[in-house]
Structure 1
Amino acid sequence: MNAIKLQNAYRLLNHGPTVLISSAHNGKQNIMAAAWVMPLDFDPPKVTVVIDKNTYTRELIEVSETFAINVPCVAQTDVVQKVGTNSGRDLQGTDKFVEYGLDAFASTHITAPLLQGCVAWLECKIIPEPHIQNTYDLFIAEVVAAYADERVFSNGHWHFDGHPDLRTIHHVAGGHFFATGESHQAGHED
């Protein structure tokens, strides 16, 4: 895992992957799938994410004022489906990390855990905007740390060739996902 320059953090999300949002507060943690996440600004780096007011993850985010964006890959498609279709609130005396045997590691600037096996991670602190949070379920956050798996992201760019199981995924509906395809370099005319 390589630390990413914050001015390049937007590149981890710019291609529109489905992500997993993790949160934690006061010894409780949760993780959920999210498709409506996007970069918002470069300096300082900001992101937006839509998190429904009925989710357990949102409950934890609102009290901790932080969350992590985990960018999963093809190898984690089943995990994404499981954590995206079940509520952490329904688990009796456990959480999704324990229930599904998910390995996590500690973030450096926030309390939310980071999911092992992902290809990128962004640690985020909420920029309070109560009106848009309550009206549109939209959260704005500053990215305070970013990391990526150097096998597929280095020098500020994704490069999935040779690593089909590490391609990011894109949810289209009903448990169907696409994997990020092959890259194509635009030509330069002199």
Structure 2
Amino acid sequence: MQKLVAVDLAKSYRLLNHGPTVLVSSAHDGQQNVMAAAWAMPLDFDPPKVLVVVDKATHTRELMEASGEFVLNVPCRAQAEQVLRAGSCSGKEVDKFAACDLTALPGEAVNAPHVADCIAYLECRIISEPHNQQHYDLFIGEVLAAKADADVWHDGHWQFDGHDDKRSLHYIAGGSFFSIGEQLSVSATPPQ
């Protein structure tokens, strides 16, 4: 069983700061859906906010707009095939959780589900910005809860060494991904 640790909301932006592909999950009125998204990023620290681009034509967006909430799930290398499938079919036509062999787990602060076995979860309430949503498909979410996999999240940072199957995914198009690579830390000397 995966062990999750709570993430300090002031540091929750670090779950996305390295630019991973995410699975956006949503739910409303007995329906739920999940989609893959490559365009998600942290926006602010206090309160913590994120941005995600969700096309008008998606079922996930319909559920997000109806419920006012969503979850950004950070999938890992072991889930690459499932992520690609989630980005290749419509939730209007199939139950994407079943079709993509994904398991929905209940959220804590929102009704939208988590996707099991992802390495991080950011539960979000939509901050309504109708102009950005309609013209740019851009949604702002206030992060209400955040958790990360204790195997790869330590001391407020990602630490993937020894857990290659849990490295985050980064979509580069055409069914190809990178998984995050080697971590290195540097110190900068201030300019003289």
Question: Shared fold by TM > 0.5?
Answer: yes
Residue 77 of structure 2 contacts residue 167 of structure 2 at CA under 8 Å; is this kept in 1? yes
Q: Which residue of 1 aligns with 2:69?
A: 66
> Which residue identity is paired with 2:16?
L
Q: Which residue of 2 aligns with 1:127?
A: 127
Take 1:141 and 1:183, find their aligned partners in 2: how far apart are those partners? 28
Take 1:154 and 1:106, find their aligned partners in 2: how far apart are those partners? 24
Take 2:27 and 2:83, find their aligned partners in 1: how far apart are those partners? 18
Take 1:52 and 1:27, find their aligned partners in 2: how far apart are those partners? 22
Q: Select which of 76, 80, 83 maps to 2:79.
A: 76
Q: Show CA shifts across 1:121-154 (max 9, x none).
A: 0000000011110011001110000000010012
Take 1:109 and 1:163, find their aligned partners in 2: how far apart are those partners? 29
Q: Which residue of 2 aligns with 1:15?
A: 18
For these two proteins, the number of residue pairs brought into alignment is 187
Gaps of 5+ in 1: none
Q: Which residue of 1 aligns with 2:27?
A: 24
Q: Show CA shifts across 1:71-128 (max 9, x none).
A: 000000000000011111122xxx1112333222110111111011110000000000
Gaps of 5+ in 2: none
Q: Select which of 84, 88, 91 maps to 1:88.
A: 91
Q: Normalising by structure 2, what TM-score?
A: 0.95
Q: Which residue of 2 aligns with 1:36?
A: 39
C-alpha root-mean-square deviation of aligned residues, in Å? Answer: 1.2
Shift of 1:49: 0.6
Q: Which residue of 2 aligns with 1:116?
A: 116
Q: Show CA shifts across 1:144-184 (max 9, x none).
A: 00000010012110000000000001000100000000101
> Which residue identity is paired with 2:93?
D
Q: Show CA shifts across 1:3-57 (max 9, x none).
A: 1000000000000000000000011000000011000000000001100000000
> Which residue identity is paired with 1:170?
H
> Which residue identity is paired with 1:180?
I
Q: Normalising by structure 1, what TM-score?
A: 0.96
Q: Select which of 47, 51, 67 maps to 1:48.
A: 51
Take 2:91 and 2:129, find their aligned partners in 1: how far apart are those partners? 25
Query: After superposition, where does 1:165-184 map in structure 2 within 5 Å?
Result: 165-184=165-184
Q: Which residue of 1 aligns with 2:9?
A: 6
C-alpha spacing 1:137/1:188, structure 2 compared with 1 (3 Å)? closer
- Runs of 4+ more than 4 Å apart: none
More divergent stretch after superposition (104-113 vs 142-151): 104-113
SS at match of 1:10: helix
